[in-house]
Amino acid sequence: MDRRVRTTAAAVALAAASFSAHAQMQGQFFVSGNAGMSYNYDSDIDKRTGAAGAVRAGYEWQSGAWPDDRFDFGVELGYADLGKAKANTVVYEGYYLGNVEAKYDVHPTGPTLGGNFRFRFNDHWYVFARAGYMHMQLKLNVSVPQYGPSAHVTRNQSTDGAYAGFGMGYDVNEHFGLGFGYDSYYGQGRYQGIKYSNSSGLLSGFAEYRF
């Protein structure tokens, strides 16, 4: 057989096999919502926990029809609200003024873009992992009660960051599932030459709908 004929036949066979494998992969869109508690890991924070949550939507490729799809992978776009963390700090302003107490809170939020993977070890139960990019927005409120309501400053800063998480879920049926997980978020940037960062975790339950 001519080499060109063999090469063409091999290419056609490879393309056919690739198309067949692709055809076996199925996919679904999904939307999900998380609700739980956040924990701020920054060392200066006094009140570290707060109500927090996230929403996500995306598309997931599946290795087969539910519940025989043992592994799935997908892309996701979302938004996370990591709640407020609060702190008190003492600012020393000299002998006559003494110590002045300042209160502040930080509220990290922002959109996310990433990928996810799940492994189904049972017809209904699965474990998952996800990771990606977060455009973290930090809202910082600082006040000095001793100086009255006018001694209040609000700053909004944006920074690039990342997130990663893992958890376990249970599919009630092909379209609806419940579960729980833990996600870690981190952002770092500079403001007027000063380096700052924020690290928060989110422990939450979630509900997911696939269609």
Q: What pLDDT does residue 105 have?
A: 75
Is residue 16 in some structural domain?
no
What count of Cα atoms within 13 Å lies in the side-chain half-sphere of residue 133? Answer: 5
Name the residue with higher pLDDT: 183 or 4. Answer: 183
Residue 177 has pLDDT above 80, yes or no: yes
Q: What pLDDT does residue 68 have?
A: 78
Mean pLDDT of the chain: 80
Q: What pLDDT does residue 22 have?
A: 47
Q: Looking at residue 132, which CATH number applies to its domain?
A: 2.40.160
Is residue 17 in some structural domain?
no
Name the residue with higher pLDDT: 33 or 188. Answer: 33
Residue 62 has pLDDT above 60, yes or no: yes
Residues 124, 35: Cα–Cα separation, whole Å: 22
Going by pLDDT thresholds of 50, 70 and 90, the confidence category of residue 7 is very low
Is residue 15 in some structural domain?
no
The pair of three-digit structure tokens given for residue 122, joined into one six-digit string: 């049972």
Is residue 203 in some structural domain?
no
Count up the domains in the chain and report the number: 1
What would the mean pLDDT of 131-137 be, rounded to a whole number? 94
Q: What pLDDT does residue 35 have?
A: 97
Domain of 137, in residue numbers: 31-198
List the one residue out of 80, 87, 85, 86 whose CA is nearest residue 36: 80
Going by pLDDT thresholds of 50, 70 and 90, the confidence category of residue 143 is low
Is residue 211 in some structural domain?
no
Is residue 208 in some structural domain?
no
What is the percentage of the chain residues whose pLDDT exceeds 70?
68
Give the 3-state secondary structure of 87-154. EEEEEECCCCCCEEEEEEEEEEEEEEEEEEEEEECCCCEEEEEEEEEEEEEEEEEEECHHHCCCCEEE
Is residue 43 in some structural domain?
yes
Is residue 24 in some structural domain?
no
Q: Are 33 and 57 in contact (CB under 8 A)?
A: no
